[in-house]
Amino acid sequence: MGKKVVTFGEVMLRLSTPGYLRFSQASQLNSTFGGGEANVAVSLANYGVPVDFITRMPENDVAQACVMDLKKYGVGTDKIIYGGERLGIYFLETGAVSRGSKVVYDRAHSAISEVKKGMVNWDEVFEGAGWFHWTGITPAISQGAADVCLEAIHKANEKGITVSCDLNYRKNLWRYGKTAGEVMPELVAGTDIILGNEEDAEKVLGIKPEGVDVTGGHVEGAAYGSVSRQIMKQYPRCKKVITTLRGSVNANHNSWAGVLWDGKKLYESQQYQITHIVDRVGGGDSFMGGLIYGLLTFSDDQKALDFAVAASCLKHTIYGDYNQVSVEEVEKLMGGDASGRVAR
């Protein structure tokens, strides 16, 4: 499967209430691991793509359990650096019907938030790599994390490695004195493939879609042509802009689709109705994992987009952050088989 993919960011311990219990009702929490870039790495490993995940972790048993978990899925962990006091944690309460899900972060002073330039040997990390993926979550953690992310992008640009980004705006994370609008543009300038949604483009890059109402449950793909054109104009390095289109009927029922703009043509996927969501956390990451696989594997943007949308549609049926599906399962759904029948 060619050159390896490298992803960089924070992986956390995820503690979630069982079923649909509220925090105040739960007497126990289920523990798993997750984080934007780690989730993308697991997706790619599932599809047979060689992938390394880079982060900074403390040297303790919880971090070790996380590394073992990533290894279990086939993610390369030998370039992870160690130091700092703690692994970040996030708490998840899963919503139902008209009650939305809630996330509470406990990640201040995590090992990666104290990362500094020069700690990661990017020359070594990028040996044999053809693709680098980052998200807007990492530069939101701390100035140090933003600096190291920029360092990685510059090194990848120097080496001719494709750079992709999920803009991933998280208002609760930007706490260290700078806004996304101040930090992100310099990072996005070195990026070739940009994924986002209507809020990301506006909050991170100050670009607004024209004539779109996202609250009504139905999102019109064609309206995103204007956003994509503005992004490419502002960031000439960018070759493709992809937008995920989530229409929220309620916490359990979303419509899901995507569009891809290659500078000339707007590709649109079919729209899926996800009527019984098991876990929507990691939905965007599973889309990105599917998209990277699709762009590396098919010479067809439409097929890459369709693969990404189908992959992330399936993710909504899987508990935890990681999308644990195979290429065959995604292609079956792409081919129109959404029956969910028992495979015997």
pLDDT digits (tens, 9 = 90+) for 205-223: 998 866 655 555 445 655 6
Tokens 């930007």 belong to which residue?
Answer: 174
Measured distance CA(135)–CA(119) in Å, rounded: 19
Output b/e per residue, 196-221; b: 16+ Cβ within 10 A.
bbbebbbbbbebebeebebeeeebbb
DSSP annotation of 89:
E
Give me the DSSP letters along 219-239: --GGGGHHHHHHHHHH-TT--
Give me the DSSP letters along 273-336: EE-S-S--TTHHHHHHHHHHHHHHH-S-HHHHHHHHHHHHHHHTTSSSSS----HHHHHHHHTT
Could you tell me which CATH number the domain at 4-334 has?
Answer: 3.40.1190.20
Measured distance CA(54)–CA(192) in Å, rounded: 20
Residue 81's pLDDT is: 98
Q: Spell out, as residue ranges, where the chain has pLDDT lower than 70.
A: 1-2, 209-223, 344
Domain residue spans in the chain? 4-334
DSSP annotation of 24:
T
Residue 217's pLDDT is: 47
Tokens of 67: 């590394």
Q: Closest Cα to residue 140, out of 198, 191, 88, 183?
A: 183
Q: Which residues have C-beta within 8 Å of that of residue 314, sequence separation ≥ 6?
A: 286, 323, 325, 329, 330, 333
Residue 168's pLDDT is: 93
Q: Closest Cα to residue 4, out of 78, 86, 72, 107?
A: 78
Residue 222's pLDDT is: 56
